[in-house]
């Protein structure tokens, strides 16, 4: 029995290491790895013990409660006209059910503090490898075309949309900052501290090159929170002021070196200032989102309580684009580019409230229990939900479903005794 337990424990651990490694790298492996984790959970059996763990531990019930949103999407199938798309949508969102189920029932001892560190370190490593491959691809294309455009935005990010990759890198930065500023720093020598500090700068520059406005805004918020924490809670005034000054210099220097990224922010600002003069065929990111959100709100007003159903959200959006002569968005089949609005369209007020609760309640828990890694994760993801429909793609839903469940499952930060 002990040998069997050890085998399943190692299987969970190594499969999860592979999963977090490939989240920022190669998304085609992710469904297979998630499936193997669930298969290990099934073969492990021991369902009576799993059930007892669940009902006797309030924390585990909280993890399982994250799957409630998926249940609402399942209910939404029954008042959908487009059943094929509804079933496809449920398949994409299946992680919202599976990861909470697994982490709410498996043995807590599987993840020791050292193993938790390995999970975070492997995720950071995956992000680093991803950036190197992207830079290599950009350099190769530059030699072929002599165009610097390959070092910017969607041309640079070859594994994911630039907004998603920026989100991963922001979380990697948050993890590194946490380990550099907490008790875990005692386990690092000066060379490792220096290397991690340089990695933060490297990721910062890469995020700016990705030119994701949400990514850059999130990055600024991460550093502001870090400085606020150091000054307000730790009373480390000099260190906080120094980090603030260094980040300002880095941002100014990066924007001077990479003006194309700054230009996207300027265009977005102009779009916001002139939002009443937006043309229907506008395709710039911020301008386009304003038009899409306007259409989404029209749909919500007409389907306020229950939404249009899980399967009909895409069809309804396309019909609305056609009705308002937004041909560009209709041809591109754009979603709402905002998960809060996307969920509201699909499931109505009740689904929207469930989504908010799955973010707000964990946020309150993280603040109360000083779980700063979890807090950073929730802030990063919640901000990105404002500009992307994260649950409509595997890149967003797996990242959220896994780390949201895992960070609540481990309960304590890895530096805590």
Tens digits of residue pLDDT in 256-305: 888 777 777 777 666 666 655 555 555 556 777 888 999 999 999 999 99
Q: What does residue 60 show for φ and ψ, rounded to 5 degrees?
A: -70, -35
Average pLDDT over residues 364-375: 91
CA dist 258 → 104, 238, 254, 340, 392 (Å): 45, 30, 6, 32, 31
pLDDT exceeds cutoff 90 at 191? no
pLDDT exceeds cutoff 80 at 105? yes
CA dihedral (160, 161, 166, 171) positive or negative: negative
- Residue 167 in contact with residue 219, Cβ under 8 Å? no
What are the b/e assignments for 62-79, b being 16+ CB within 10 Å?
bbbbbbbbbebbeebbee
pLDDT, one tens digit per residue, over 175-189 is: 999 888 876 666 777
Torsion angle of alpha carbons 46, 52, 53, 55, nearest 10°?
140
pLDDT exceeds cutoff 90 at 129? yes
Task: Give pLDDT, residue 301.
Answer: 95
When comparing pLDDT for 173 and 266, which is higher?
173
What is the helix (H) or strand (E) element at residue 84, kind and residue range? helix 83-92
CB atoms within 10 A of CB 299: 20
Task: Give pLDDT, residue 417.
Answer: 46
pLDDT, one tens digit per residue, over 37-69 is: 999 999 999 899 999 999 999 999 999 999 999
- How far is it, in rounded angstroms, from Cα 355 to Cα 70? 10
pLDDT exceeds cutoff 80 at 313? yes
Domain boundaries, the chain: 46-110+282-417, 129-273
CA dist 89 → 74, 80, 232, 343, 399 (Å): 10, 12, 44, 12, 17
pLDDT, one tens digit per residue, over 218-232 is: 999 999 999 998 898
- How far is it, in rounded angstroms, from Cα 216 to Cα 210? 9
- Residue 396 in contact with residue 343, Cβ under 8 Å? no
What is the helix (H) or strand (E) element at residue 156, kind and residue range? helix 153-156
CA dist 250 → 42, 205, 254 (Å): 49, 8, 6
Percent of the chain with pLDDT over 90: 67
Which of these, 337, 317, 320, 327, lies nearest to 390 by C-alpha position? 337
- How far is it, in rounded angstroms, from Cα 100 to Cα 409? 9
CA end-to-end span of the chain: 29
Torsion angle of alpha carbons 345, 347, 348, 351, nearest 10°?
-120
Q: Which residue has the tokens 């989102």?
A: 289
CA dist 296 → 28, 60, 291, 325 (Å): 30, 35, 9, 14
Please give the radius of gyration of the chain, using alpha carbons only, rounded to the nearest integer: 22
pLDDT exceeds cutoff 70 at 315? yes
Task: Give pLDDT, residue 1.
Answer: 58
């Amino acid at each position: 029995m002990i040998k069997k337990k050890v085998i399943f424990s190692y299987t969970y651990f190594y499969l999860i290491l592979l999963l977090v490694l490939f989240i920022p790298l190669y998304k085609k492996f992710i469904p297979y790895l998630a499936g193997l984790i669930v298969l290990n959970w099934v073969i492990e059996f021991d369902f009576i013990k799993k059930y007892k763990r669940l009902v006797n531990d309030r924390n585990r019930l909280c993890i399982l409660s994250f799957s409630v949103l998926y249940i609402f999407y399942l209910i939404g199938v029954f008042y959908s006209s487009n059943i094929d798309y509804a079933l496809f949508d449920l398949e994409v969102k299946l992680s919202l059910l599976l990861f909470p189920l697994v982490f709410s029932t498996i043995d807590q001892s599987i993840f020791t503090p050292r193993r938790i560190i390995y999970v975070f370190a492997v995720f950071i490593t995956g992000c680093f490898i991803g950036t190197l491959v992207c830079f290599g691809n950009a350099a190769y294309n530059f030699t072929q075309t002599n165009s610097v455009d390959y070092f910017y935005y969607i041309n640079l990010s070859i594994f994911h949309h630039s907004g998603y990759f920026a989100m991963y890198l922001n979380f990697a930065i948050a993890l590194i900052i946490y380990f550099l500023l907490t008790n875990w720093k005692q386990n690092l020598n000066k060379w490792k501290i220096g290397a991690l500090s340089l990695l933060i700068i490297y990721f910062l520059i890469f995020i700016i090159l990705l030119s994701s406005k949400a990514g850059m805004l999130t990055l600024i918020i991460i550093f502001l929170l870090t400085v606020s924490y150091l000054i307000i809670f730790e009373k480390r005034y000099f260190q906080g002021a120094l980090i603030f000054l260094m980040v300002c210099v880095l941002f100014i220097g990066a924007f001077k070196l990479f003006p194309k990224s700054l230009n996207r922010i300027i265009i977005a600002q102009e779009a916001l200032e002139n939002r009443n003069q937006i043309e229907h065929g506008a395709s710039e990111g911020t301008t386009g989102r304003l038009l899409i959100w306007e259409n989404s709100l029209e749909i919500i007003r007409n389907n306020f309580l229950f939404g249009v159903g899980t399967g009909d959200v895409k069809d309804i959006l396309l019909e609305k684009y056609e009705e308002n002569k937004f041909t560009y968005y209709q041809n591109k089949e754009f979603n709402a580019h905002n998960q809060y609005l996307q969920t509201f369209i699909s499931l109505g007020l009740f689904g929207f409230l469930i989504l908010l609760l799955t973010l707000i309640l964990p946020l309150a828990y993280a603040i109360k229990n000083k779980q700063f890694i979890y807090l950073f994760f929730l802030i990063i993801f919640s901000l990105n939900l404002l500009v992307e429909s994260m649950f409509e793609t595997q890149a967003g839903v797996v990242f959220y479903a896994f780390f949201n469940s895992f960070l609540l499952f481990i309960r304590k930060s890895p530096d805590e005794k």
